Structure 1
């Protein structure tokens, strides 16, 4: 059995409610907002240096996003696996999930760094809108590479704590690191207090220091709360090699789903670089906002998935699962409405938030408003379906659904819209909405079959 530090959350002792989901979701949401908000803050701070600097940071972030996407993809799989292990109350299962997840995360981060070192400069030269932007982008990416190692550790531990229901610990780690990031970025971008003005590279330096603090905090808390797992004998399978292999087999479809989503988004971001400078700057600004505000709905659905995985691990009744999911779904639509309101405020405040940018860039931001208001509703409903099905182990179907819609629709449609038809940024952004509508029937039909309620996690 688990120690007191890993007791089953009180929400699982009876029929979980939307309030229980909220208690799990709000720390995850704030943590995710801080994570994506780092990019928003960097973009905001760098925007005062002009469109060229902003485009340079956007291009470097798109390339680094490929590696961070891989880390986050396996971290999401780790979160679900941990929740299943936590639900069974098996300390050996929990230890196996933690050790396997950390090994995989570090391997993915190191592999990604190698790819960046070998190909990053060439890719920047081929896609940068100008020579100056290419130089600035390389400087940013070289320093940001240090962030990748810290994120490999930090994201794995965050997913472990989330799966155990301790969602406040990852939040605390960001509450500690975010002020450090913002303060150092401001100082190093502009050269305050006698420091050199590093410009775009200064934003990456602030992020690198902050991620070290974040990962260090999580490691200390892991040792304090679950250090006893080091003394638990045995592995989920007969030895660690087989345990790791089983973890990889479970994780790959989930990781492939998230990696496909992130990689397709980064490919599209690189294609956006072929828009006009003002339109690309507008897309660079709005993309982090879509991630930041969108995390409200996404983290609600992930918290729902954690509860479903834990409930399935306890073999709870189908009637209870139905009641819980119905409540969680209603909450998802409230979350979608909140996201729409945030998008509305951002677009209407563009003249104030980004006064240093020229009028055309700000007009493009305002034109995005109709798409952003409706996007959260199908996206949120699809997310509830996807995370519920993943929690039951139905990962292959979800992987195919994401991969085919992204690579057979969104990526080629974006390339055609930008490179061939020369459409405006408004129509390019609208492809996000059409992608959600394409996925909608397949997601909901699969959930309504009810097979997910009969999954045997303990086996």
Structure 2
């Protein structure tokens, strides 16, 4: 826990944030790429294989996302402990995160075993697609188990400021995934021809390789914490409960966002084919290009948590956040410029599209030019407030803006008012503007500076 007396603490530089942010950015893109790579590699097997992988991948992707959410909480806890310099706190954050991730993955695997087949049968277009999807999902559960450990260990390194270690693990795993998947999909180099299942095996082996690398680095650097007796809150059970209480709102925020995005896509499907196609094309760009601003905010959150662990003065925190905000503005400008290039080049990138679809893509450009700025600033606030322990408040803002603003307005615009897709897309900006006042007012209030427990 924080002591009551603040002490002078040197604040990290903008370069320190950048050194944390760039590995996080590349790692996040690579994490998204696990299923994307599989989809690319199985494309040559035909539409049925792609449909099967997409169906199984949606379930696997949900479980991966939940693990990432819990790991984000562990990352904050470890950063707080690292800043405080308490070995018992550092050990508690690492092992509690690992136990929780393993528990979540086992519950997810149990849910898949009990209901996965039913879900797949319900949404698959043919029995053969359902069969292939089930086979893929069964093997992909190894990825879930591997990532349960891998994400927990990554969170430990990230919280300690060693984001490059997690990034290097993906650098090692990515060529394993691609090479082995190609060999197993097509039966090359003496490997059996497994088709779609080969892609899942490649991902599973790559995940295990990544996990082994991280485990070796973890035990080399910590030796299992032999010089850190005891736990942060007396017993491991009490420490685990406190960690879980801290983590649940972050996980709930992710689950809410996933469900909201799914509902939004179902409503988007009621648009014209051209408008829906335009939204389907632009959303991946929004996610991938926007990663820069989000990971800058995550790096800021890690450093804030470390600072809070050192019991800094309020002025030192304010000084650091102003520095981080200036960097966030630069990141937002780069993201905005990327969106502008993509939007203006959409006619060349997607030259085979109909003119109505290309016109819809161009209509998104004014919104995309503005979106990164409030989104980046909100992300700074959200990650900072989480670092200060206000996970429930952050969850409430996200859930409220999603379910009381974006989703109802999307339904009204599409189902009742029949507005153009540009108005519908603008709700992404509206959601950020709704979150802006409560995030910034709470941050400026400053209670988060003293809220660690």
Same fold (TM over 0.5): yes
Whether the aligned pair in 2 keeps the contact of 1:37 and 1:288 (CA below 8 Å) is no
Partner of 1:96: 92
Give the deviation of 1:425 after TM superposition. Answer: 6.5
1:324 to 290, 311, 320: 320
- The count of aligned residue pairs is 445
List aligned pairs for 1:355-434, cutoff 5 A: 363=358, 366-367=361-362, 369-370=364-365, 371-413=367-409, 429-434=425-430
Whether the aligned pair in 2 keeps the contact of 1:79 and 1:162 (CA below 8 Å) is yes
Partner of 1:141: 137
Q: Structure 1 residue 334 and structure 2 residue 330: aligned?
A: yes
Compare 155-164 and 45-54 and name the one that shifted more.
45-54
Give the deviation of 1:266 after TM superposition. Answer: 4.4
Give the deviation of 1:60 after TM superposition. Answer: 2.9
Q: Secondary structure at the match of 2:315?
A: helix
Whether the aligned pair in 2 keeps the contact of 1:332 and 1:380 (CA below 8 Å) is yes
Instruction: State the distance in 2 between where 1:426 and 1:174 align.
Output: 37
Instruction: State the distance in 2 between where 1:269 and 1:137 align.
Output: 22
Give the deviation of 1:30 after TM superposition. Answer: 1.4
Counterparts in 2 of 1:310 and 1:132: CA distance versus 1, 3 Å? same
Give the deviation of 1:188 after TM superposition. Answer: 3.8
Instruction: State the distance in 1 between where 2:152 and 2:288 align.
Output: 20
Instruction: State the distance in 1 between where 2:41 and 2:416 align.
Output: 34
Q: Where in structure 2 are there 5+ consecutive unaligned residues?
A: 1-7
Instruction: State the distance in 2 between where 1:277 and 1:198 align.
Output: 35
Whether the aligned pair in 2 keeps the contact of 1:354 and 1:362 (CA below 8 Å) is no
CA RMSD of aligned residues (A): 3.4
Q: Structure 1 residue 115 and structure 2 residue 97: aligned?
A: no
Counterparts in 2 of 1:55 and 1:390: CA distance versus 1, 3 Å? same
Partner of 1:59: 55
1:122-177 superposed Cα distances (whole Å, 9 cap, x missing partner): 33344456666555544433332221111111111111111111111101100100
List aligned pairs for 1:294-309, cutoff 5 A: 294-309=290-305
1:313-341 superposed Cα distances (whole Å, 9 cap, x missing partner): 11111111111101101111211222233
Instruction: State the distance in 1 between where 2:191 and 2:345 align.
Output: 33
Counterparts in 2 of 1:53 and 1:423: CA distance versus 1, 3 Å? farther
Partner of 2:5: none
Give the deviation of 1:416 after TM superposition. Answer: 6.1
Whether the aligned pair in 2 keeps the contact of 1:36 and 1:288 (CA below 8 Å) is no
Partner of 2:208: 212
Give the deviation of 1:282 after TM superposition. Answer: 6.5
1:52-108 superposed Cα distances (whole Å, 9 cap, x missing partner): 654544433322232222211110110111111111110011111111111111111
Q: Secondary structure at the match of 2:251?
A: helix
Whether the aligned pair in 2 keeps the contact of 1:53 and 1:136 (CA below 8 Å) is yes
List aligned pairs for 1:9-408, cutoff 5 A: 14-47=10-43, 53-128=49-124, 134-193=130-189, 195=191, 198-268=194-264, 286-346=282-342, 363=358, 366-367=361-362, 369-370=364-365, 371-408=367-404
Partner of 1:9: none
Counterparts in 2 of 1:268 and 1:150: CA distance versus 1, 3 Å? farther
Counterparts in 2 of 1:108 and 1:421: CA distance versus 1, 3 Å? farther
Give the deviation of 1:405 after TM superposition. Answer: 1.8
Instruction: State the distance in 1 between where 2:129 and 2:371 align.
Output: 32
Counterparts in 2 of 1:349 and 1:198: CA distance versus 1, 3 Å? farther
Whether the aligned pair in 2 keeps the contact of 1:279 and 1:364 (CA below 8 Å) is no
Give the deviation of 1:430 after TM superposition. Answer: 4.2
Compare 120-129 and 203-212 and name the one that shifted more.
120-129
Compare 259-268 and 308-317 and name the one that shifted more.
259-268
Give the deviation of 1:120 after TM superposition. Answer: 2.5
